[in-house]
Structure 1
Amino acid sequence: MRVIEDKGGAIVVMLVSLFFIGTFPAIMTLLERRGRLPQHTYLDYSLTNLLAAVLIAVTLGQAGEAKPGMPNFFTQLTQDNWPSVLFAMAGGFFLGLGNLVSQYAWAFAGLSVTNVICSSMTVVIGTTMNYFLDGRINRAEILFPGVGCFLIAVFLGAAVHSSNAKDDAHKLSRSDLLRKLCCHFPATVLPDPEQPKNTKGSGEDINALAQTKPGSAEFIIQVEKRRSIKVIGSDKLIGLGLIFFAGTCFSLFAPAINLATNDQWHVLRGKGTPHLVVYTAFFYFSISAFVLGIGLNVWFLYRPMAGVPASTIGAYARDWNGRAWALLAGLLCGFGNGFQFMGGQAAGYAAADAVQALPLVSTIWAVIFFGEYRRSSRRTYLLLAAMLSMFVVAVAVLMASAGHRKT
């Protein structure tokens, strides 16, 4: 079995995890803005997210000879370790629910702000829990100033969202575009759930979007016309409510995995029963997230939320537009989570929460591909710069606090 035992290797896998976990939300947001139903996207994502966990378990978790107290993956599946398994599955439940809610929060509040606040909550709550669960192997004098930077970013993120929402409202109020938009979507033109949704959009819509300047009122309207979740005119508190709910879920998944792999609460029954190896824990974690994601999104096909059109299993099966991207998003998230846990097992889960600086990656994609914050006010730009600066400092500080777990 391959395990990471040095701090340098742990930091490398955490950086790879940071890139992967910061990129998959951009892919899912791109599909939603192209009109693909979020239920369809999440069902595809769930499949490859589980596939990544299986691949990690049967390769890294099974490779080489077993070590004392660290059995290989298939051996551990037969052991009496169900209390730890339940912790791992609880972690998968929290992460799966958080990712599902985030898919809607990205539409209402934007990719950057959603990930900033969610990640900051994850660090402020989850990292503090992990520090004590890990027996304080991370340097507190370095770790907690980093946590403080994330806490500041929570408030800056909320301020950026509020300021940008005012900027967009001001742009729309200066023209009759909002009136035209309200007349553009009569209830009779909603797509037939029995037909696969055309996520490519009409040539007219694509040309119109290409000809508008990112950040302009016309650009906002063209995006709104194509996307599957309509957000113009919605209460900004809806987006913040979704964000804080998702952030609370994200705060709990890493401590649950920590308990599953290190058994700090001594819940394993038999004496000498090995702790769950990180690969086995990640496998059970992903099974739980998969069941939750499939179950809820099949339900949402027929009873959708947030004004999204209804669909069917048949329509989902026939919807191949954007499917490859959704499958890629699942792989990136799966491998990103796996690498985060591998780094956390080696250097401490508190330090591994440095991957929660993923908004640095997401914001780059948001600005380049989605035109977020284009033509915004100077106040919004200053708040955005301050928010991202907090993340740059925070990720460096959390990684500097990495310790070494005694095995």
Structure 2
Amino acid sequence: MYVVTSKGGGVVLMIAALILLGTWPALFNLLERRGRKPQHTFLDYCIFNYIIAIIFALTFGQIGHSTEETPNFIPQLHQDNGASVGFAVGGGILLCLGNLGTQYALAYTNLSITEVVGSSLTVVGGTILNYFLDGRINRAEVLFPGVACFLVAAITGLFVHASNMDDHNVKLGRKTKGWLSNIAAKEAPEPLAPHGTKKDGLDDSARGTIDLEKAAAKSTTSSARGSAQFLAEVESMRSIKVVGNSVLIGACILCFNGACYALFSPAFNLATNDQWNRLPEGVPHLVVYTAFFYFSTSFFGFSMIVNTIFLYCPILGAPKSSVPEYLKDFNGRHWAVLAGLICGLGNGFQFMGGQAAGYAAADSVQALPLVSTIWGVVLFGEYFRSSKRTYILLAGMLIMFAAAVGLLMGSAGTRQH
């Protein structure tokens, strides 16, 4: 089994995980804005996410000789480690719920604010839990100022969102009571035609045949990014219709997925390190690759069940679908597959880095809004033609996230076993 033991190696893995985990939500957002049904995207995503976990287990988990203290992946499958497996399975279900929440929250807010709130809740809850579970191996005088920076960044992010919403209202010619009041209001681009008919005259079933690449080209060339027409065109194509809904719905979803994210990493920590001494005497701890396998197996199984139900009983305004329709939907599938591969690699690197340098430090990957904001600007035109006030707030948010990730990585310790 290949094990990363150095603090430096753990930090490198965390940086790689930060980039990867900040990218897959952008691909989800890309597909939703182009009209692909979210259930289809998540099914493709979870299948290939699982494939990465299997590859990790059969390669890194099988490299070298197996020992009694650190058995390889396959020998460990036969051991009496049900308690640790339970924590890994629970962590996978929590991550699945968090990812589902992120997918739907993206439609109610934007990519940047979804990642800001979710990441901040994860750090505040998960990092503190991991710090104590890891026996305080991380440097508290560095770790907790990093957590504070996350909180400041999250609060600043809310002001960024409010200011940007006010900018949208001005572009669309709507009255506003002030940019702070927009925290509790949802901007709505140009209203859509009634009875589910889009501005292009097509209903949901007809739009399923539209080529996503052509739709994307139309949305990026027919009007300038950040303009009122651009905002209306994006809303007319997206698969989850949120016009007229309160942003409070999105805020509730964000809080839900933030709570799930805050708990999944401590659950994985307990699975690999058995801090509560649930394993029988003499049974070795789950190695990180075995725990990752069980974690991803539960993620995959739960995702398949829930999203198959969502095909026939959609939620939050998503269009209805079916298993045959999903199997025939190849529009944008390559992006969903890429999202699954990227997230699987990111999770694997985060867990490997956390096992080496402490899971509290590994939560530095929750500074992924740094990456997501870049994708939001490049791919989706977020903050284009915004006000000077919005740009100042956005810069402040990114600076605080940069400081937070530096502090959390700087708090990394070295595990003694």
The change in CA–CA distance for 1:154 and 1:207 in structure 2 (over 3 A counts) is closer
Q: Kindly report which structure 2 residues correspond to 1:247-326, keeping only aligned pairs within 5 A, or say none.
A: 247-268=258-279, 270-326=280-336
Distance 1:353 1:210 in 2: 39
Q: CA deviation at 1:207?
A: 3.3
User: 1:398 aligned to 2:408?
Assistant: yes
Amino acid at match of 1:135: G
For 2:105, the equivalent position in structure 1 comes to 105
For 2:244, the equivalent position in structure 1 comes to 233
Q: CA deviation at 1:40?
A: 0.3
Distance 2:36 2:192 in 1: 22
For 1:5, the equivalent position in structure 2 comes to 5
Distance 1:213 1:62 in 2: 52
Q: Kindly report which structure 2 residues correspond to 1:57-206, keeping only aligned pairs within 5 A, or say none.
A: 57-173=57-173, 181-187=190-196, 189-192=202-205, 197-200=208-211, 206=217
Unpaired stretches in structure 1, ≥5 consecutive residues: none
For 2:224, the equivalent position in structure 1 comes to 213
For 1:377, the equivalent position in structure 2 comes to 387
Single out whichever of 181-190 and 35-44 deviates more from structure 2.
181-190
Distance 2:306 2:360 in 1: 31
Per-residue Cα deviation, 1:271-306 (whole angstroms, up to 9, x for no partner): 110000000001111111111211111111111112
Per-residue Cα deviation, 1:366-386 (whole angstroms, up to 9, x for no partner): 001100111122222222111
The change in CA–CA distance for 1:212 and 1:95 in structure 2 (over 3 A counts) is same
Distance 1:257 1:116 in 2: 23
Per-residue Cα deviation, 1:45-72 (whole angstroms, up to 9, x for no partner): 0100100100000100011112341100
Distance 1:73 1:156 in 2: 44
Distance 1:204 1:368 in 2: 17
SS for the counterpart of 2:172 is helix
Q: Kindly report which structure 2 residues correspond to 1:301-380, keeping only aligned pairs within 5 A, or say none.
A: 301-380=311-390
- What TM-score do you get using the length of structure 1 for normalisation? 0.95
Distance 2:219 2:282 in 1: 66
Distance 2:210 2:250 in 1: 24
Distance 2:209 2:283 in 1: 53
Calculate the aligned-residue CA RMSD, in Å.
Answer: 1.9
The change in CA–CA distance for 1:69 and 1:227 in structure 2 (over 3 A counts) is same
Per-residue Cα deviation, 1:102-147 (whole angstroms, up to 9, x for no partner): 0011111111111011111111110000000000000000000001
For 1:36, the equivalent position in structure 2 comes to 36
Amino acid at match of 1:99: N
Q: CA deviation at 1:204?
A: 8.0
Unpaired stretches in structure 2, ≥5 consecutive residues: 176-186
User: 1:14 aligned to 2:25?
Assistant: no
Q: CA deviation at 1:89?
A: 0.7
Asked if structure 1 preserves the Cα contact closer than 8 Å seen for 2:147 and 2:404, the reply is yes
Q: CA deviation at 1:202?
A: 9.4
Distance 2:249 2:19 in 1: 28
The change in CA–CA distance for 1:247 and 1:202 in structure 2 (over 3 A counts) is closer
- What TM-score do you get using the length of structure 2 for normalisation? 0.92
Asked if structure 2 preserves the Cα contact closer than 8 Å seen for 1:196 and 1:319, the reply is no
SS for the counterpart of 2:242 is coil
Asked if structure 1 preserves the Cα contact closer than 8 Å seen for 2:196 and 2:204, the reply is no
SS for the counterpart of 2:152 is helix
Per-residue Cα deviation, 1:241-286 (whole angstroms, up to 9, x for no partner): 1111111110001000000000000011x21100000000011111
Distance 1:119 1:292 in 2: 23
